[in-house]
Amino acid sequence: MRRIRITLSYDGTDYHGWQVQPGLPTIQGALEAVLEEIEGKPVAVLGSGRTDAGVHALAQVAAFTLSNPIPLPNLKKAMNRLLPASIRVLHVQQAAPNFHPRHHALGKTYEYRIYRGEVCPPFERLYVHHYPYPLQVERILELAPMLEGEHDFSAFAAADEKDALGGSKVRTIFSSRAWLDGERLIYRVTGSGFLKHMVRTLAGVLLEAGKGNLGEAELKAFLQPGCGLRAGPTLPSRGLFLVEVQYPPETE
């Protein structure tokens, strides 16, 4: 038996997120269907996290165990031959038997893309949030780093079935930056982990700041433990990309 780690990229437009859901197309479901065909029996695939419906990934990490002795280069070819064109396996490697793509992750980087041009090109529309209206971009660039550090991000999280477990909503943001790239306004954030809809809500709050609807004091208030406020809005999923998952060197 081999523990296999893969890095994959996907266009999340037509999928109901990562996690298997009965009767709905998901990334995990597509991978498990293909691996069952290769292995001849069901194969459980674990991911570094659950991307929401419509969210894209440039480099998601997943892992599974196979008894099939197929060489790794051939496994990569076979998976890409069988998978939909919207999901591509970029890299395949053997991992330690206990490798877990979520538990061993040190951090993740996400990027949210906002298109600022008056007319959104048709080939951009599925991968950006179009906002062509007046915006104080400098305010967004200035406030984005304020999200760095260890904070209670309860105000930025959507209701989750995991809430019943009473887990902490404290997370550490290592880097939070925004910049202009042509007609795109890019927000990129790296953290120890993220709550449900958290990144899209962070981007939404920064967009509200750019509209002039909130400032430094209001942003700080959202980060106070037990503030009782709900930050927002939560921007559409199509503008969000999982860029990278970081791991300790010994797992590489």
Point out the residues that are catalytic.
52
Three-state secondary structure of 23-46: CECCHHHHHHHHHHHHHCCCCCCE
d(CA 252, CA 239): 29
Cβ–Cβ < 8 Å for 138, 164: no
DSSP-derived secondary structure for 143-209: HGGGG-EEEE-GGG----GGGGGT---EEEEEEEEEEEETTEEEEEEEES---TTHHHHHHHHHHHH
In terms of Cα–Cα distance, which of 151, 164, 128 is closest to 198?
A: 151
The Cα 94–Cα 119 span in angstroms is 46
Rounded Cα–Cα distance for residues 21 and 23 (Å): 6
Two structure tokens written together for 183: 């007609």
